[in-house]
Amino acid sequence: MSMVDITSKAETFREATAKGRIRLRAETVKRIIEGKVEKGDPISAAKIAGILAAKNTSNIIPLCHPIPLTNIRVDVRISDSNTVEVESTVKTRAQTGVEMEALVATAVALLTIWDMTKQYEKDSEGQYPYTIVSDIHVVRKVKKSL
Amino acid sequence: MSMVDITSKAETFREATAKGRIRLRAETVKRIIEGKVEKGDPISAAKIAGILAAKNTSNIIPLCHPIPLTNIRVDVRISDSNTVEVESTVKTRAQTGVEMEALVATAVALLTIWDMTKQYEKDSEGQYPYTIVSDIHVVRKVKKSL
Amino acid sequence: MSMVDITSKAETFREATAKGRIRLRAETVKRIIEGKVEKGDPISAAKIAGILAAKNTSNIIPLCHPIPLTNIRVDVRISDSNTVEVESTVKTRAQTGVEMEALVATAVALLTIWDMTKQYEKDSEGQYPYTIVSDIHVVRKVKKSL
Amino acid sequence: MSMVDITSKAETFREATAKGRIRLRAETVKRIIEGKVEKGDPISAAKIAGILAAKNTSNIIPLCHPIPLTNIRVDVRISDSNTVEVESTVKTRAQTGVEMEALVATAVALLTIWDMTKQYEKDSEGQYPYTIVSDIHVVRKVKKSL
Amino acid sequence: MSMVDITSKAETFREATAKGRIRLRAETVKRIIEGKVEKGDPISAAKIAGILAAKNTSNIIPLCHPIPLTNIRVDVRISDSNTVEVESTVKTRAQTGVEMEALVATAVALLTIWDMTKQYEKDSEGQYPYTIVSDIHVVRKVKKSL
Amino acid sequence: MSMVDITSKAETFREATAKGRIRLRAETVKRIIEGKVEKGDPISAAKIAGILAAKNTSNIIPLCHPIPLTNIRVDVRISDSNTVEVESTVKTRAQTGVEMEALVATAVALLTIWDMTKQYEKDSEGQYPYTIVSDIHVVRKVKKSL
């Protein structure tokens, strides 16, 4: 078990974008749009949770390097009547890439949407027959000399 | 934005199981099986990262209640030549359910597998055309009087 | 340096409310009301930051006991053209009070409002001649047998 | 909700000083001076809590950038028979300012003094009619080319 | 990799005491006694760091259960001209023991003493030929029905 | 209480190696070798816990500077029938040394081995008459201009 040694790598500009989605009941998505989610706005909560998680990546993913981040942007959009999409972009000037940060931000933002809306997703027995987080992937990595 | 008030709910036995999977190149899955992943064993790393994340859920998901957990189990298995599955079960005696803990453990374990194997998943331009985390869902919640 | 020993105290219902305020330029308060703060809504950000901080109190204040919280509520309101007020209420069933949790939530929510609006509060030399956080106090503590 | 993008800003020397105060009963301030606070020395505890909090700012304030700090200094002084003052100075070489770090250190140091002395501040009903944290402000920011 | 399942264990009173020591140069111990350590009092710093670490044990040691602690006490004493001893006692009412919490508090308190005095322990080449932390052990565990 | 001010120090290459050991019953060491520890492999767990702890050093040791680390390596080896040794090496390009990071990684890895094997180390009364963590020291520090 060992981290990749990046000691002698040059500092370059790094950017990574990751995306994913959550399937919710149409009624839940309608509530989000109409601002009727009792616990509060899932979109704001998801963005903040995603940004905080990106900054915390090196504590969450064991072999990630702790690196200063210069920008984190988490976008949340309703893509159809049953789907909310999250897209996170992370930037830095560092010796290693930031795709794990973008993935962690995306996954945590999606799970935060779940948590904010869970009372509408549970069936009468407290189960979640419909809710699924899926398609978490890296859209694009960029690496440029400074 | 406000937490659900669980002050007057009775303490009961709670259990939740969540599941998800990651698609990897066949070559990467083969390396996991053969113990040839350079950064170390992705399965051990994923289990530990998942367990630590479950315990940290109330710091990661903004409106989750901080609750003591009595058991966390993260199982990782190779389900076919391109897929690794994670199943996490969390137990507690508390005033609220633990599905978010099981989901966070599962998502973090899956992303840890990504991180451990990422050098084999990137193409020649440093992109990830193949890798996807998906199908994160709650398998089952249990609630029983003490 | 030692924590108070609460081992033999009985578990009771505990509630604490703390309050505080931040003075901002009238132009900044107007922007908050009109939803024109570039970094995003300071009120949502403040509520979430306050709730997360309350849960994190025993890591922030050295001799605080780690206790499970059953409710945290952070209210933010614009009380006049130069002032935003934060009021936080924390509840639990525990062996010790939760006033420090309510105070930490309040202070962190107020500083988050500062951070969200700081570009409008700085003068041309980057100084803050106007912004002040003040009057952080405990409004009320409640303790009742279960 | 999005962080300010500092990717292309130059690294410069940054320093920020923040100040605040807590009003305590004269008897409590006397105990601090005489070293008779049962839980331990509030001044040492406040300094350490403030320094740790400054380092933790990007986890506490949602949109703050994680930046390495090169110095943190938290001074605590008794300014009159009812008042303890905290002044925190934070330095770094970074792409963004450190006033939030200085403010967080100051607020947390003041609340730590509250926590250390709370048994002397409560009245017979467990309320705090006297204790107030106030006047938290930025004294000075400095920015110089390296 | 899996936590011990304590779901069905009864809550009992738990206490654990751990001890350890650090060997320092006589000159360093003399400085501690005379209050001449430039970075500040190592004893206060060690106590606070130990208490905070005990509360953080379930994040530091992967398979530890998160449990509320009702008391933590870290004692630091100079046992001879070259030795500082740390003894930590942790109490709780829980379903599992707290020896790991006492051990973590002790180890972190000892390393904090190292950090506070390191400028006096280094030789002219920046090495530590003398400093050693040793003999970290559990003195006693207690378990009693409530 | 104040951090050392490293603002004007030059960034150089830094490396530190720390070592320590834990004494275990011969039966426990045999179980580790044979892969028969019920909670899971103590060696993987220790490595991951040590790496995570190194990254978390500035939150654990009050006056440590937060610095980005470019490599962390934790080696665990069975040195005789009663002893497991841990050696941790940390590298960075920073303005200050990383010996505290290497020491924290080593101490936490050793305590993780204790935690993973504690059921075999306890006697019939739940005490630990045999287990000791000792000899935690810095093997070597290196500092080179970039």
Answer for the pair E19, E135: CB distance below 8 angstroms, yes or no: yes
Closest CA–CA distance from residue C55 to any residue of chain A (Å): 15
Encoded amino acid at C36, one letter: K
Q: Is residue F83 helix, strand or coil? A: strand
Q: What is the pLDDT along chain F (146 residues), one digit of tens a residue?
A: 889 999 999 999 999 999 999 999 999 999 999 999 999 999 999 999 999 999 999 999 999 999 999 999 999 999 999 999 999 999 999 999 999 999 999 999 999 999 999 999 999 999 999 999 999 999 999 999 88
CB contact (8 A) between residue F71 and residue A95: no
Q: F92: number of CA atoms within 13 Å, CB side?
A: 26
The closest alpha carbon to F22, from F113, F88, F94, belongs to F113
Write the DSSP string, E68-130: --SEEEEEEEEEETTEEEEEEEEEEEESS--HHHHHHHHHHHHHHHHHHHHHHH--TTS--SS
Return the percentage of chain E with pLDDT > 90, whole number: 97
pLDDT of residue A1: 85
**Which residue in chain E has the smallest CA separation from D46?**
E48
Q: Distance between CA F30 and CA F45 in Å, rounded? A: 17
| Higher-confidence position of F115 and C2 | F115
- Which residue among A2, A111, A126 sits closest to B61, beta carbon to beta carbon? A111
Q: Which residues of chain F does E135 touch, with a Cβ-Cβ cutoff of 8 Å?
A: 132, 134
Closest CA–CA distance from residue D6 to any residue of chain E (Å): 31
Could you please state the CATH topology (level 3) that the domain comprising F13-144 is classified under.
Alpha-Beta Plaits (3.30.70)
pLDDT of residue C146: 80
**pLDDT average, residue stretch E1-24:** 95
Answer for the pair E65, E79: CB distance below 8 angstroms, yes or no: no
pLDDT of residue F59: 98
For the four alpha carbons of D57, D63, D64 and D66, in that order, the dihedral sign comes to: positive
ipTM attached to this prediction: 0.97
Closest CA–CA distance from residue A95 to any residue of chain F (Å): 8
Q: Which residues of chain F does E140 touch, with a Cβ-Cβ cutoff of 8 Å?
A: 127
- pTM listed for this prediction: 0.98
Please state whether beta strands B12-23 and C12-23 pair in parallel, antiparallel, or not at all (unpaired). Answer: unpaired
Q: CATH number of the domain at B12-144, please? A: 3.30.70.640
The closest alpha carbon to A19, from A116, A87, A102, belongs to A87
Is some CB atom of chain E closer than 8 A to the CB atom of D80? Answer: no
CB contact (8 A) between residue C47 and residue A40: yes
Q: Which residues of chain C does A45 touch, with a Cβ-Cβ cutoff of 8 Å?
A: 44, 48
CB contact (8 A) between residue B5 and residue C48: no
Cβ-proximal residues to F34 (8 Å cutoff; 6+ apart), any chain: none
**pLDDT average, residue stretch B53-57:** 98
Does the active-site annotation cover B115? Answer: yes
pLDDT in tens, E57-83: 999 999 999 999 999 999 999 999 999
**pLDDT average, residue stretch D32-48:** 97
- Which residue among B59, B62, B67 sits closest to C68, beta carbon to beta carbon? B67
Closest CA–CA distance from residue E75 to any residue of chain F (Å): 17
Token code pair at residue E47 = 């106590």
Q: Which residues of chain F does A66 touch, with a Cβ-Cβ cutoff of 8 Å?
A: 55, 68-69
Helix ranges, F21-87 (H): 26-34, 42-55, 57-60
Closest CA–CA distance from residue E54 to any residue of chain D (Å): 16
Could you please state the CATH topology (level 3) that the domain comprising A17-144 is classified under.
Alpha-Beta Plaits (3.30.70)
Inter-chain contacts counted by CB atoms under 8 A, chains B and C: 45
Q: Which residues of chain E does B69 touch, with a Cβ-Cβ cutoff of 8 Å?
A: 65-66
pLDDT of residue F114: 98
Residue pointed to by tokens 């930025």: D138
Is some CB atom of chain D closer than 8 A to the CB atom of C74? Answer: no
Return the percentage of chain D with pLDDT > 70, whole number: 100
- Report domain extents, chain C: 12-144
Partners of E91 in beta bridges: E15, E71
**What is the phi/psi pair of residue F57, to 5°?**
-55, -40
**Which residue in chain D has the smallest CA separation from A53?**
D59
Q: Which residues of chain A does B20 touch, with a Cβ-Cβ cutoff of 8 Å?
A: 133
In Å, how far are B38, C134, C138, D72 from D129, measured between CA atoms?
62, 16, 8, 33
Catalogue the active-site residues of D.
115
Is some CB atom of chain E closer than 8 A to the CB atom of B72? Answer: yes
CB contact (8 A) between residue E3 and residue B73: yes
CB contact (8 A) between residue E69 and residue C66: yes
Q: Which residues of chain C does B62 touch, with a Cβ-Cβ cutoff of 8 Å?
A: 48, 51-52
Is some CB atom of chain F closer than 8 A to the CB atom of E6? Answer: no
- Which residue among E61, E114, E127 sits closest to F112, beta carbon to beta carbon? E61
Is some CB atom of chain C closer than 8 A to the CB atom of A47? Answer: yes
Is some CB atom of chain F closer than 8 A to the CB atom of E131? Answer: yes
pLDDT of residue C90: 98
pLDDT of residue C66: 94
Closest CA–CA distance from residue E17 to any residue of chain F (Å): 11
Q: Is residue D104 helix, strand or coil? A: helix
pLDDT in tens, E10-20: 999 999 999 99
**pLDDT average, residue stretch C23-38:** 98
Q: Distance between CA C121 and CA E24 in Å, rounded? A: 50
Q: Where is A34: in which H helix or E strand? A: helix A26-34
Catalogue the active-site residues of F.
115
Among C43, C48, C52, C113, pick the best mutation site for testing chain A contact (most A Cβ within 10 A): C48
Q: Which segments in chain A show pLDDT lower than 70?
A: none
- Degrees (nearest 5) of the Cα angle B57, E106, E47? 90
Quick count: other Cβ atoms within 10 Å of Cβ B144? 9
* Sheet with B71-80, side-by-side order of all strands: A71-80, A83-94, A12-23, A132-144, B132-144, B12-23, B83-94, B71-80
Q: Distance between CA A50 and CA A85 in Å, rounded? A: 13
**pLDDT average, residue stretch D45-74:** 97
Inter-chain contacts counted by CB atoms under 8 A, chains C and D: 134
The closest alpha carbon to F42, from F104, F108, F102, belongs to F108
Encoded amino acid at E96, one letter: T
**What single-letter DSSP state applies at residue F70?**
S
Is it the case that residue B146 has pLDDT exceeding 90? no
Q: How far apart are the first and last CA of chain B?
A: 31
pLDDT in tens, E81-130: 999 999 999 999 999 999 999 999 999 999 999 999 999 999 999 999 99
In Å, how far are A104, C133, D53, F17, F54 from F59, measured between CA atoms?
22, 26, 9, 20, 10
Is some CB atom of chain C closer than 8 A to the CB atom of D104? Answer: yes
- Looking at domain D16-144, which of 3.40.50.2300, 3.40.50.10800, 3.30.70.640, 3.40.50.700 is its CATH number? 3.30.70.640
Is some CB atom of chain D closer than 8 A to the CB atom of A65? Answer: no
Conformation bin of residue F14: beta by default, left when phi > 0, alpha when psi is -120 to 50: beta
**Which residue in chain D has the smallest CA separation from F69?**
D68
Inter-chain contacts counted by CB atoms under 8 A, chains E and F: 135
Q: Distance between CA D50 and CA D116 in Å, rounded? A: 14
| Higher-confidence position of D14 and B145 | D14
CB contact (8 A) between residue C3 and residue E73: yes
Q: Where is D26: in which H helix or E strand? A: helix D26-34
Question: What ranges make up the beta strands (E) of B27-131?
Answer: 71-80, 83-94
